[in-house]
Structure 1
Amino acid sequence: MLYLSLFITFFEIGLFGFGGGYGMLSLIQTEVVHNHHWITTGEFTDIVAVSQMTPGPVGINSATYCGYAAAHNAGYGEMMSVLGSLTATIALVLPSLILMVLIAKLFQRYLNAAPVQSVLRGLRPAVVGLLGAATLLLLSPENFGALSVSPWQFSISIFLFAATFIGTYWMKINPIRMILYSAFAGLVLLY
């Protein structure tokens, strides 16, 4: 039953998750953490961090790790957890694959049509909203610590957040380098 739930959940996310992997993160978190309780918020945060550092699209990587964690947390063995990974990954990719095959030729033919342009203009703000929601959902005590519990961890987290934002947005430092710098700073300052 878990595998069917995983398939349906990630198929729906793949079908309605406009804006790529980052746009899907808020949908994935809502489903796997809040609705199904397959993983905790802390586990999801770790999954997102690992998904960003590993090669491949962040949405697909997140689905793969979430499927594994959901099966593992449900008490399934190693191989059955791998099946959870495969189920979530295939379910997330399948809607895009089907839709792209079906509309590839039609899109080129009707790309400049007014209704198609209107649909695309309507989707753009929705994609930005999904990306913003993903960002806001990750601004949690699990990621930053709580000021009342650990002022040092909270202060370092806010500093790393600000430094990474400034470094990537204004100073145009490569995001991979910023991830490595932040990991090193976390190791030195929070260990």
Structure 2
Amino acid sequence: MIFLYLFITFFEIGLFGFGGGYGMLSLIQHETVEHWHWLSSSEFTDIVAVSQMTPGPIGINSATYCGYTAVSNAGYSSSMAVFGSAVATLALVLPSLILMILISRMFMRYMNTHTVQSVFNGLRPAVVGLLGAATLLLMTPENFSLPTVNPWQFFISCGLFAATFYGTYFLKINPIRMTIHAALAGLVLLY
């Protein structure tokens, strides 16, 4: 039964996840951690980290890892967990595939009309909101600790966050390089 719920959940996320993979993260986190309790918050954070480091879109990578982990946590064998990852990945991609096939011809014809432009103008703020929500959902005590619990980890985490933001946004340093530097700094400073 978990496979059916995985398919329905990730199909809905794929259908309503505007803004790409980062926009989908808050939806994936809500469904897999809060609604279905397939994953813990810490497992989801690890999945996001691994999804960012592996090649491919973060939304699809997250769906693949979430499907595997959800089925594995439900007590199924690893071969069934692989099937769970395939179900979640297919379900996430399927709405986009169907919609792109259906609207590709009409979009090219009507893309410069006022109605279509108005729809896109309305979607842009929603995408920014989804990206902001994904950022806030990852700012948890598992990632940053708390100043009262572990002040060293809290201030180092905040410093790494600020340095990475400044480096990628203002200094235009390659995000991959910044990720490697932050990982090395975290390894040296936090352990």
Q: TM-score, normalised by structure 1?
A: 0.99
Partner residue of 2:34?
A: 34
In structure 2, the partner of 1:58 is 58
**Offset, 1:145:** 1.1
**Structure 2 counterpart of 1:48:** 48
Partner of 1:173: 173
Take 2:40 and 2:75, find their aligned partners in 1: how far apart are those partners?
Answer: 15
Query: CA deviation digits over 1:129-185, x for unaligned, max 9?
Result: 111111111111011112111111111101100110001011111000010001101
Match of 1:110 in 2: 110
1:42-78 alpha-carbon deviations (Å, 9 max, x no partner): 1111110110110000000000000000011111111
Where 1:75 maps in the other structure, the secondary structure is: coil
1:147 aligned onto 2:152: no
2-structure distance, mates of 1:35, 1:105: 37
In structure 1, runs of 5+ residues without a counterpart are none
Q: What's the RMSD between the two structures over aligned residues?
A: 0.6
Per-residue deviation, residues 16-36 of structure 1 (Å, max 9, x unmatched): 000000000000000000000
Normalized against structure 2, the TM-score is what? 0.99
Q: Taking every aligned residue pair, what percent have the same amino acid on both sides?
A: 72
* Structure 1 Cα separation of the partners of residues 122 and 156 of structure 2: 39
One-letter code of the match for 2:140? S
Structure 1 match to 2:80 = 80
2:46 is paired with a residue whose SS is: helix
Q: Give the match for residue 131 of structure 2.
A: 131
Deviation at 1:186, TM superposition (A): 1.1
| Paired residues, number | 191
Counterpart for residue 97 of structure 1: 97
Letter in 2 for 1:24: M
Greater than 4 Å deviation, 4+ residue runs: none
Amino acid at match of 2:49: A
